[in-house]
Amino acid sequence: MVDLNVIKFDRNGHPETGLQAWEAISEDLIVSGNPIQRGHQYFSTENDKLVAGVWDCTEHELVLGHYDVDEMMVVLEGSITIKDKTGQEETFRAGDSFIVPKGTECSWKQYEYTRKFYMIYDNADSQQIKTDDLAAIRVDANAELPRVSGHDAELYLSEVPDMGMLVLYADPDNKFISGVWDCSPMKRVATTIERSELMHILEGSGSITNADGVVFEFRAGDTFLVPVGMGYQWQNREYVKKIFCSYIP
């Protein structure tokens, strides 16, 4: 058989073509600046409902409006400031990760050139919830993670691990979910992954083996995506912590 493979993200885009120029942002949305955006899309579903890749852009500010997609971002360079309708601002700098839920009323401000990894869930069929409670969500890598109990020992070829998970955001249909996860050393039984998941490794190292026996090694600092339907055997011989963003079809 020929199985799918893990997709490793590179901040410079495709190894041969790099980052390509993207369509200009509509002038109706621009408050200031002359934004020039580039990117490379590493992954998309057939209907483009889910897309993920790397993007960069020069400084600019956009008008206040409702964010029309769910998006998780890892800032690689520069900074992004999200301003809410009251004028309150929060800035995310290189090394930060954050989520903007669909329906959040905000404006986007970049005071400098910025680059990011992203995963976007664009479900035009779902109702766009617009409430005063929606706001950009900072991913706190040092937050205490609730421990996960009730593991099925048959899922592991190792001892049952000590695992923690903090879900920071889930869309109303529980299809787009993002948060932080950690785990003691363990090895899972081979299976088929039933979600597409973007992972940004914060600590530790390990491997993922697909159904063809292709081994993908990862370590702290790596960002990659595992596509739904791929053969999946996870192993980490040391403690691992990651930021995750999953889409469950």
pTM over 0.85: yes
* Same domain membership, residue 178 and residue 111: no
Supply the pLDDT for residue 60: 97
- Could you say which of 107, 138, 169 is where a domain stops? 138
Half-sphere exposure of 231 (CA within 13 A, CB side): 13
* Same domain membership, residue 157 and residue 123: no
Read off the CATH number of the domain in which 169 is found: 2.60.120.10
Give the torsion through C-alpha atoms of 66, 72, 78, 84, to 10 deg.
Answer: 30
Instruction: Using the structure block, give the residue that is written with the tokens 């159904």.
Output: 211
**Domain residue limits at 181:** 147-247
Supply the pLDDT for residue 1: 61
* Same domain membership, residue 61 and residue 128: yes
**What does each of the 249 residues of the chain score in pLDDT, given as a tens digit?**
689 999 999 999 999 999 999 999 999 999 999 999 999 999 999 888 999 999 999 999 999 899 999 999 999 999 999 999 888 999 999 999 999 999 999 999 999 999 999 999 998 776 666 666 889 999 999 999 999 998 899 999 999 999 999 999 999 999 999 999 999 999 999 999 999 999 999 999 999 999 999 999 999 999 999 999 999 999 999 999 999 999 999
Supply the pLDDT for residue 131: 64
DSSP, residue by residue, 20-51: EE-PPPPGGGEEEE---EEEEEEEE-TTSSEE
* Same domain membership, residue 116 and residue 79: yes
* Same domain membership, residue 28 and residue 110: yes
3-state secondary structure of 155: helix
